[in-house]
Amino acid sequence: GRNRMTVGVVTNRHHFADKLDGVDLETFFWKSLRSCPEVAGLIEHATLRDDILPKGARVGACQDWSSWARETVGDGWAAAGDAAMFVDPILSTGVTLALQTGHRAAYTWLTRRARPDLPAASLWRAYSDYLRGEYGAFLTLARYFYGNNKAAPSWWWTAQQLVNASGRLRLEDRQAFTMATAGFFPVPRALGAGAEVVVPLIQGISGAADGLEAIYRDAGVPDPEDLSRETYALVAPFRLDLRTEPGLERGLSGHLEVYHDLVTETPQMSHRLAATPARIDPALAPVVAAMRECSDVAGLLARARALFPARDPAVLRGAVLGIVRVAAMKGFIRLEGPRAPASVPPPLEAVACA
């Protein structure tokens, strides 16, 4: 209802245990809230419900903060903020993510109204993919912090590997961490016409001296002709599906730009969903599906020609190499170099995918 909200207290586990000694959980909860003057007035007339938590409990406690809802959308509803996914508060991202996801949910709904031609299920699945991408980025850093070296320099170094994967930007590790927590993770999204605003802003926050847009130019992926000779291995299964982004740069106001891009369901790769956004022709979905069956780019090109015999060969070749490039930059495939030359040329069936 309109007057319902969830309120929580976050504290150190040892502090929690000490304060709770001899005090029931509900008393501890109210005392903690009332100790904050800014909150005390807001909860002066508040009451707790006993029909939400198990066994009629009015206050609950938990640890291992990060959690993901099994479903984030349904018939007539969509979850946002902590109701959808909750990342450990070590990075203080809760309010930012709540505002971002609430905005995206509202714009997804407005886009559905403005574009009745779009499948509603696909549009809301794109919203769920967006949630996984945003939360997955920060969850990667939070999990590293708790599971590995807790020294700040080590944490900053991890951010450097995630933000500056190509190694081409002149960034100190601490600057990379600042950029990661400011939203530049794992690469800048949709700079486009807004680059003159976004790039100086993030440079100012992080103190980075290099041009951040260089991360697009230096992708670490071979040029098209060299790429056509590469072999590859599948790192995470992926599909071609609908994606959305704010469309102000393209003249859209009040709803989202809709396009097709590569998407994975693999939780460990969620932080890569927003990397290098591409706009791929949805008709090429069979080529994307064929990538699972192939192990070399030459074979994929042969399969594409068989799938689309009427298409211009040069245009089709460029589109397929573009898909391979995006898959490699997102980390969904791993390029493994050219295939070793055989003494006897293999038959055509061995070159093309089975």
Over residues 12-36, the pLDDT tens digits come to: 667 667 766 777 889 989 998 999 8
Q: For residue 192, what pLDDT band results from cuts at 50, 70 and 90? A: very low
* Averaged pLDDT for residues 37-55: 90
Instruction: Give the pLDDT score at 112.
Output: 94
Residue 353: the pLDDT is: 66
Tell me the mean pLDDT in the region 159-173.
57
Q: What contacts 198, CB < 8 A, 6 or more positions away?
A: 188, 191
Mean pLDDT of all residues in the chain? 79
Domain ranges within the chain, ordered by starting residue: 13-64, 91-217, 224-351
In tens, the pLDDT along 64-75 reads 667 888 899 999
Q: pLDDT higher for 290 or 219?
A: 290
pLDDT of residue 110: 94
| Position with higher pLDDT, 212 vs 303 | 303
Question: How buried is residue 268: exposed, middle or buried, by Cβ count under 10 Å (0-12/13-18/19+)?
Answer: exposed
CATH number of 224-351: 3.30.390
Mean pLDDT for 63-92 is 84
Q: Give residue 264's pLDDT.
A: 92
Tell me phi and psi for residue 96, to 5 degrees.
Answer: -60, -50
pLDDT at 185 over 50: no
State how far the alpha carbon of 32 is from the alpha carbons of 8, 37, 52, in Å.
10, 11, 21
Q: Mean pLDDT, to the nearest integer, of 184-198?
A: 44
Higher-pLDDT residue of 19 and 283 is 283
C-alpha torsion angle, residues 130, 133, 134, 135 (rounded to 10): 120
Q: Over the stretch 307-326, which tens digit does the pLDDT of each residue have?
A: 999 999 999 999 999 999 99
**In this structure, which amino acid lies at residue 344?**
V
Q: What is the pTM of this model?
A: 0.66
Q: How many residues does the chain have?
A: 354
**Cβ neighbours around 17 below 10 Å, total:** 10
Round to whole Å and give the CA distance between 234 and 236.
6
User: What's the N-to-C CA distance of the chain in angstroms?
Assistant: 56
Local confidence band at 260 (pLDDT 50, 70, 90 cut-offs) = very high
Residue with the larger pLDDT of the pair 149 and 80: 80
Look at strands 238-246 and 77-78 and give their pairing.
unpaired
Q: For residue 149, what is the enclosing H or E element?
A: none
Give the tokens for residue 186.
Answer: 């794992």
Query: What's the pLDDT score for residue 293?
Result: 93
Beta carbons of 100 and 80 less than 8 angstroms apart: no
pLDDT greater at residue 49 or residue 196: 49
E strands, the chain, are 67-68, 73-74, 77-78, 85-86, 230-234, 238-246, 256-264, 333-338
Query: Rounded CA gap, 187 and 111, in Å?
Result: 26
Distance CA 80, CA 73 (A): 9
Name the strand (E) or helix (H) holding 14: helix 13-20
Contacts of 232 (CB under 8 A, 6+ apart): 294, 295, 296, 297, 324, 328, 333, 334, 335, 336
